[in-house]
Amino acid sequence: MAHPQIAAFARLAEGNVKPRRSIAGQNTLITRTIHDLAYDPVRDEIIVPQLFAQAILTFRGGADGDEAPIRILQGPKTQLSDPERLALDPVHGEIFVPAIDRVLVFPRDGQGDVAPIRILEGPDTQLRGEGNVAVDPVHNLLFMNGVARVPGRGRMGQVLVFDRTASGNAKPKAILRGPMTQIDNPYKMVVYPPRKLLLVGIRTEHAASEDSFVGVWSIYDTGNVSPRWTIGGPKGILRQPRGITLDPKNKNVIIADKYLNSVFTFSFPEVF
């Protein structure tokens, strides 16, 4: 059973330390588990998908304790169905929510029962599986990952690349897929626009594996392309990477591992 809270720690925290503060309690409307969140540096806000409440909650960046969200997206017009993940475009003020075979896009200021402003869906999109989404607002790209069944090759993980404003039955601009990519079960992604890089957390079909890693590609890579760099990998420290974020100022990559119940900070100047 997960602990329904958002915990904030000191950047240099290490070991078994208490959080500096946490958002938790009935007024927060946070349900049993949180699978993702996004931070808005423009508004100083935290945006959280709520799987069981069919909702997207937005909190003040400095929220603490049993504090209610400042905005809630929820209702039949939203078409939200078990939202687990999201991505924020702070430049254009949009929230992207993946929903297995489609991506719903909402205005950042959306409140209540608000319909999506765009929906990416249809057979030509090739969206498959419970994927994660990432946005590059500088180069106007949208990334969606998942697992596909490729004729003659079986089950393969993939990353699909679209125009940021793609909607309807749009075809991908590019597909990152193939044995050299080592993309098996892709999970959280993050983009670093200044270096035109995409980081993808990847695990095997098993619940946890020493082969799990975070791979780094160019945002323009397509096809069967090996990662430029990796964190973890064969007999590495990671087991089930679930969250990735970047600390450009200190040139660090921060990775949360579900199986190890830990947050790792790696010095990775090559990315920055």
Span 222-240, pLDDT tens digits: 999 999 999 998 888 999 9
Specify whether 156 is located in the same domain as 262: yes
Whether residue 206 is predicted with pLDDT greater than 70 in this model: the reply is no
Residues 269 and 139 in one domain: yes
Mean pLDDT for all residues in the chain: 92
What is the average per-residue pLDDT within 10-35?
Answer: 91
The yes-or-no verdict on residue 2 having pLDDT over 70 is: no
Q: Which residues does residue 143 pair with via DSSP β-bridges, in sequence order?
A: 134, 161
Q: Which residues have a Cβ under 8 Å from the Cβ of 206 and sit 6 or more positions away?
A: none
Q: Do 151 and 245 lie in a common domain? A: yes
Asked whether residue 129 falls in the same domain as residue 230, the answer is: yes
For residue 251, what are its two tokens? 């040139």
Q: What is the mean pLDDT of residues 125-148?
A: 90
Tell me, what CATH number does 231's domain have? 2.130.10.10
Last residue of a domain, one of 86, 121, 156: 121
pLDDT > 80? residue 129:
no
Residue 169 and residue 96 share a domain = no
Pairwise pLDDT comparison (13 vs 3), residue with the higher score: 13
Q: Tell whether 127 and 185 lie within a shared domain.
A: yes
The answer to whether residues 170 and 229 belong to one domain is: yes
Residue 173 pairs in a beta bridge with none
Structural domain boundaries, residue 255: 123-272
User: Element (H or E) spanning 94, and its range?
Assistant: strand 94-98
Out of 77, 104, 121, a domain closes at 121
Look at 43-47, 153-157, 175-179 and tell me which has the smallest mean pLDDT.
Answer: 153-157
Do 120 and 161 form a contact (C-beta atoms < 8 A)? no
Say yes or no: 152 and 258 in one domain: yes
pLDDT at 205 over 70: no
181 lies in the same domain as 256: yes
Contact 119, 97 (CB under 8 A): no
Q: Are residues 184 and 85 in the same domain?
A: no
Which pLDDT does position 199 carry in this prediction?
97
Per-residue pLDDT band at 1 (split at 50, 70, 90): very low
CATH number at residue 88: 2.120.10.30
CA distance 26 to 217: 41
Q: How many domains does the chain have?
A: 2
- Residues 110, 1 share a domain: yes
**What one-character DSSP code corresponds to residue 268?**
-
Name the more confident of 206 and 189.
189
Overall average pLDDT of the 45-55 stretch:
93
* Coil, helix or strand at residue 185: strand
**150 shares a domain with 47:** no
Assigned token pair, 163 = 């125009």
Q: Which two tokens stand for residue 92?
A: 């254009």
Report how far residue 88's alpha carbon sits from residue 167's, in angstroms, rounded to the nearest whole number: 17
Last residue of a domain, one of 77, 103, 121: 121
Contact status, residue 248 vs residue 239, Cβ threshold 8 Å: no
